[in-house]
Amino acid sequence: MKNTEYLMYKKIIEEHLVDFLPEIDHKSITVYEAMKYSLAAGGKRVRPALLLGACEFSGGDIKGALPYACAIEYIHTYSLIHDDLPSMDDDEYRRGVLTNHKVFGEAMAILAGDGLLSSAFEAMGKDLLMYFDDAGGLKKRVRAMYEIAKGCGCRGMIAGQTSDIEAVNKQFSKELLDYIHVNKTAALIVASVRAGAYMGGADADVLRDLTEYAENLGLAYQIADDLLDNTEQGKMTYPALFGLEKSKMRLEELTSKAVDIMSPYYDNAEFFTSLALELETRII
């Protein structure tokens, strides 16, 4: 059965995805079209859905969290545009369509990624300006923005990407592999959940449980991707290091941990538990 809450969040995200992009002068319209091209290419929208889900779970209004959810998707999309470049993974297709640089050229693809990253912080910053007279609301938003900045930065996603690039054709180790996955993939998933929790006003216990859930989900998500794409030669992946069966066992273990962490919340946590199980088997 499909996760109805996830589908609702995904629909909301897609309806508002370009709402928080800045107005761009017609003389630089090409970069705007390149940005929108990759945003409209589809995707599961897992990260922004997790942000909205964590916000609502923690007692918040998802409408107020929309700028932060869309910002997360801008950041994720920028990272994919740059990952696809010839100097990185050199991919020609993403989600069944030509990658950004194949349509707009390498230089414009780099600028489109840069534009999405800066637009993410412009969207969040613009929202912050509305809460200067509301100390509580401002504090939640500053914390959410900080989590997102940390998750996508040189202590998060960028750190993982750096180690991933440098690890090609080098000796594998579990410690380095976990470091890559925890940072390259899980860091932005953790940031999404923690940002949403802050926006919703989560207490310390809820924040702890949501964080631990996201840590397990993020690592499981990357292992599942490794299993789906077990063809990259020289890349440090779970199947390359442990083999298919042990990788599947690790995926099941992490998914079970994620589900167990949220199970004490019963039906209130159905979005999180169902999402973990569906991502494990790629039902979504």
Please write the tens of the pLDDT for every residue from 108-117. 999 999 999 9
Which tokens go with 39? 């945003």
The rounded distance, in Å, linking the Cα atoms of 152 and 161 is: 10
pLDDT at 1: 43
Contact 169, 30 (CB under 8 A): no
Which of these, 151, 158, 166, lies nearest to 82 by C-alpha position? Answer: 158
Domains and CATH numbers, the chain: 4-281 (1.10.600.10)
Beta bridge partners of 93: 98
Q: What are phi and psi of 45, to 5 degrees?
A: 60, 35
pLDDT of residue 233: 63
The CA angle 144-149-45, to the nearest 5 degrees, is 75
Tens-digit pLDDT string for the chain (284 aa): 468 999 999 999 999 999 999 988 899 999 999 999 999 998 999 999 999 999 999 999 999 999 999 999 999 999 999 999 999 988 999 988 999 999 999 999 999 999 999 999 999 999 999 999 999 999 999 999 999 999 999 999 999 999 988 887 777 788 999 999 999 999 999 999 999 999 999 999 999 999 999 999 999 999 999 898 876 666 788 898 899 999 999 999 999 999 999 999 998 999 999 999 999 887 45
- The alpha-helical segments, DSSP class H, found in the chain are 4-16, 29-39, 46-57, 62-83, 100-104, 106-128, 135-152, 157-166, 174-181, 187-200, 204-228, 238-242, 244-262, 270-281
